[in-house]
Structure 1
């Protein structure tokens, strides 16, 4: 097949692939779980089983290794199914004993998006499962503990021999133990490097928060593009000390921008793939690019890339089906009707719809009907903006000179880490779906043929850009007010907001009732756990199953500021009660 015909075929196949809507079946049967709160979408037992069990290509640790590892008290590391970190039981797991969102693929354990986006709350002793809700889990503690236990095994010869015998079983011999030692040393060198350089020790992320952006940048720039065998560039990593609450997933495919600072275009499946590829890179995906003139883009982005593209497509199809959860308790309909009128007031009168209502967003190539996601400065915590500081440059290593035609300039020897991430995500997507190779004679024809795919390629232009630059978040919707500041964060449609506590992007306010208080009156400290308060619409004050105390302040650069977003705080107590009642119904 000629290059031109190959491109036309690949383009047509890609568009059909992304536009298809019927998810494939994994043929898993529904099993009993805590009471699932139904959403508005076509979500059923088969869908949630697939959501919990589909691999995305994350590679945390080989399965045989973690089964043999032990906690400090001698119990197996997996003894409680990771429940001590807040992960939820999955009785339908394809690997018995693993929690929701943890999958074994190709002999390696890794999390999927369900691990961070499945919520469980408790009211009067009854548990309710909310698929797509922000998890109340502590990935930072899991990350650090795994580093500790592997380090202890490697530090003691007898401990490693015991570990090797457990891993190798009946096939054990000293030579295999030596080989295993080399493999564990390499794994630990990488995991320990990012643990030491990236995880904050003095102020750990804690329950319900994760610095996904910080760790995505650390992994791509610090673990993926250096020289082998470790691929580490230690100087490219920095403390990931701007943890935020994982966003809820319902309606996520429809919003026209995503990431809390709104720095990633969104709204169709091409852009969703970029969003999800970046997410996999951040949670233990492996990606080792190299220069290769035989590939269309001049680099090989997929030869050593663990991203499971098929799994990501299946997961996105499932996410499109997750509807906002419906409040399962009684609602005072008359009071809610009064609250609806308050909600629809202009924002200057304490209303919400100007910023959080449904409004038409920026059309995308494969979806003209997006929802607008205003990105505005409302005085909330701004620590996440450290990752876009103009003076933070990284060694681009194996990606020096890489660029995407029609979209970006070649990466310099040093460049912004966000630009490295954008190139890594775009290049992998284009090479995976357009697997064309060329020789020197064909290069000119290949460049001409590439122009046939220009609209498809240009759709990726707004993927992971510095906030405020062309192609990044549009700052206001038709109805949303303009704000003068530059530290802007997205305001999402509030469907299902009752199920997403704690609030603000950095999880610094425990309930909607607390958010309606003037900032100086909001709780400075609160426990984070599953106990839910249906009156306050958020976390209950008493959390008997939690030991994590969220400590907040009013310092905008601290990462834990509970100040800002003071809309509605001047309403009367009667109006606040009515507004809260209405927010339950969304």
Structure 2
């Protein structure tokens, strides 16, 4: 048995005695073209196999992220005005998805912005999967000029996580320095308990929280900006694991490998996850550990000690529920009632080209069988693929002081000892595993039902990036692992002919090239467009030039458009 397999087996051993089913999710099946009830503007749903209850659970269920006290964020003002930080226009500026207030969302939190309660009873604002993995496109009919939004569950967000974090800290700092802001904030937070002593305590706590969030922003600084639709999640997670949690400031590394948010449908069915395929998607404990690692990246807390078990903020059972919901999520079909219909003749020709040139790396799985079909992802070595290597090299080559992790077993109770120095992966496994072991009952409940059905074993391959089935690929721009190609048409061009720079931020969908529109808004906009410069390392748009058929004949321009048309049907 491999080290990774024995590691997960040891954790799983504590999890076999109890069973827990996810909360009932009967609800009403979401039909194609249904209007989103809590949306701002006219937004339609796409049928993806979920009920309304499943969707709302995915949007609202916390996973253990603790960004700020919940009572603060619902009254916090923007840095330069008295408008709420949660004002829909402000949320839309970050390109998260604002929602109207409903019974299940009484404070009108954006999709994936959640409320949880810790062991002391304190409520926290956090972020969950839906914040990063719910997409919303817009299409303006060329004749009527009517704009319709298209909600896609499990699709990449367009959001700028960094901008939101910077603006959140700016709002907190303004609350500390502007007495009138602080007075309004204190009155709203303290309510009947308002007093000079209470205000003094609140100010101290506000200073501490502001410093902590500001420090996080500082340690992740890089030479490039991510902009909309991209984030260096692995860099954030490793900095939390190796710098913040063990208290080793010098371990911080620039988070300089922005990646496009991956789409979630097909995740549970794959043998590996993440763009680099480093996370083996096998056995219950393995999935539980990789989901715990994700929580660390969005302000989850772990109290490291010399012991093998750690207190944490993880909501372990909820992580199990999330896996069940994603397992049931199907890809979005091209919505022909809103977007121009697919040219079926071109698509038929494109299907033949795809089978010859693309299907070796991107397996074709019919949408009707996607939820029940497991697949083995293709990991293409970086030397062959030729895309930007920064995410891969950062993950595998960066070295850190081991600190408190030195000499511990990677999975707390199993595996080889963590050396000094070390890469970030084994300490990450240790931090999450120790948290699971501290909460054996919750881990058992999550494992027994939500994870125990997984039996796949990890595979080994040369370091590279993952190729997966392209179901729903039309709704997942921008493309390549680092989001450096704006649309599917440009993916089929030689790298030298792809856009050297392009703008991100518009939700407007281009159904011809298939991606977000690159055009600047002609009128005053609710956002500042971000220009992605592909000449900067981390943003390179090189590689993936599989632009020949199997017999070596380059694609013609006509064949490129046939392929684009076919990929609309996946």
TM-score by length of 2: 0.82
Matched residue count: 507
Query: Which residues of structure 2 form unaligned runs of 5+?
Result: 1-10, 31-35, 118-122, 141-146, 366-370, 549-553
Conserved? CA contact 2:283–2:456, under 8 Å: no
Task: Name the residue aligned to 1:575.
Answer: 559
Task: Name the residue aligned to 1:449.
Answer: none
Q: CA deviation at 1:547?
A: 2.8
SS at match of 1:68: coil
Conserved? CA contact 1:527–1:547, under 8 Å: no
> 189-198 or 99-108, which moves further after superposition?
189-198
Decide whether aligned partners of structure 1 residues 153 and 244 sit closer, same or farther in structure 2, where only a CA change above 3 A counts.
same
Q: CA deviation at 1:283?
A: 0.5
Residue 24, structure 1, aligned to residue 24, structure 2: yes
SS at match of 2:114: strand
Whole-angstrom CA distance in 2 between matches of 1:271 and 1:383:
25
Whole-angstrom CA distance in 2 between matches of 1:405 and 1:422:
8
Conserved? CA contact 1:56–1:307, under 8 Å: yes
Whole-angstrom CA distance in 1 between matches of 2:481 and 2:12:
42
Which residues of 2 match residues 71-150 of structure 1 at below 5 A? 71=78, 72-80=80-88, 82-91=91-100, 92=102, 93-106=104-117, 107-124=123-140, 125-150=147-172
Conserved? CA contact 2:387–2:540, under 8 Å: yes
Equivalent residue for 2:531, pick from 528, 546, 550: 550
> 526-535 or 110-119, which moves further after superposition?
526-535
Which residues of 2 match residues 27-426 of structure 1 at below 5 A? 32=37, 33=39, 34-39=43-48, 42-71=49-78, 72-80=80-88, 82-91=91-100, 92=102, 93-106=104-117, 107-124=123-140, 125-155=147-177, 159-200=181-222, 203-226=224-247, 233-292=248-307, 299-301=308-310, 303=311, 305-329=312-336, 330-345=341-356, 351-358=357-364, 370-376=374-380, 377=382, 378-388=385-395, 390=397, 392-397=399-404, 401-404=408-411, 407-412=414-419, 414-426=421-433
Spell out, residue by residue over 1:128-164, the C-alpha distance to the aligned partner (whole angstroms, 9 max, x if none).
0000000001111111111222223334566545432
Conserved? CA contact 1:27–1:46, under 8 Å: yes
Task: Name the residue aligned to 1:467.
Answer: none
Equivalent residue for 1:503, pick from 470, 479, 482: 479
Q: CA deviation at 1:176?
A: 1.4
Spell out, residue by residue over 1:205-238, the C-alpha distance to the aligned partner (whole angstroms, 9 max, x if none).
2110111000011112222223xxxxxx211212
Q: CA deviation at 1:533?
A: 1.1
Q: CA deviation at 1:27?
A: 7.2
SS at match of 1:56: coil
Decide whether aligned partners of structure 1 residues 407 and 262 sit closer, same or farther in structure 2, where only a CA change above 3 A counts.
farther
Conserved? CA contact 1:147–1:191, under 8 Å: yes
Equivalent residue for 2:516, pick from 522, 539, 544: 539
Whole-angstrom CA distance in 2 between matches of 1:156 and 1:379:
51
Q: CA deviation at 1:328?
A: 1.0
Conserved? CA contact 1:267–1:370, under 8 Å: no
> 213-222 or 143-152, which moves further after superposition?
143-152
Conserved? CA contact 1:394–1:417, under 8 Å: no
Decide whether aligned partners of structure 1 residues 249 and 435 sit closer, same or farther in structure 2, where only a CA change above 3 A counts.
closer
Conserved? CA contact 2:350–2:565, under 8 Å: yes
Conserved? CA contact 2:520–2:529, under 8 Å: no
Residue 524, structure 1, aligned to residue 528, structure 2: no
- RMSD of the TM alignment (CA)? 3.1
Whole-angstrom CA distance in 2 between matches of 1:434 and 1:163:
39
Spell out, residue by residue over 1:266-296, the C-alpha distance to the aligned partner (whole angstroms, 9 max, x if none).
145433222211111000111112233xxxx
Whole-angstrom CA distance in 1 between matches of 2:335 and 2:211:
48
Spell out, residue by residue over 1:488-514, the C-alpha distance to the aligned partner (whole angstroms, 9 max, x if none).
111111111111111001001111101
Q: CA deviation at 1:123?
A: 1.2
Whole-angstrom CA distance in 1 between matches of 2:112 and 2:226:
20
Spell out, residue by residue over 1:240-279, the C-alpha distance to the aligned partner (whole angstroms, 9 max, x if none).
1211111000011111111111111014543322221111
Task: Name the residue aligned to 2:33.
Answer: none
Whole-angstrom CA distance in 2 between matches of 1:391 and 1:98:
37
Whole-angstrom CA distance in 1 between matches of 2:412 and 2:426:
14
Whole-angstrom CA distance in 2 between matches of 1:184 and 1:408:
41
Decide whether aligned partners of structure 1 residues 46 and 321 sit closer, same or farther in structure 2, where only a CA change above 3 A counts.
same
SS at match of 2:361: helix
Q: CA deviation at 1:405?
A: 6.7
SS at match of 2:231: coil
SS at match of 2:115: strand
Q: CA deviation at 1:196?
A: 1.2
Whole-angstrom CA distance in 2 between matches of 1:102 and 1:278:
18
SS at match of 1:354: coil
Conserved? CA contact 2:406–2:418, under 8 Å: yes
Task: Name the residue aligned to 2:4.
Answer: none
Whole-angstrom CA distance in 2 between matches of 1:174 and 1:141:
34
Query: Which residues of structure 1 form unaligned runs of 5+?
Result: 1-6, 227-232, 293-298, 346-350, 360-366, 437-452, 463-470, 476-485
Spell out, residue by residue over 1:46-98, the C-alpha distance to the aligned partner (whole angstroms, 9 max, x if none).
22111111111111111122233221123221222622211113344523321
Residue 488, structure 1, aligned to residue 464, structure 2: yes
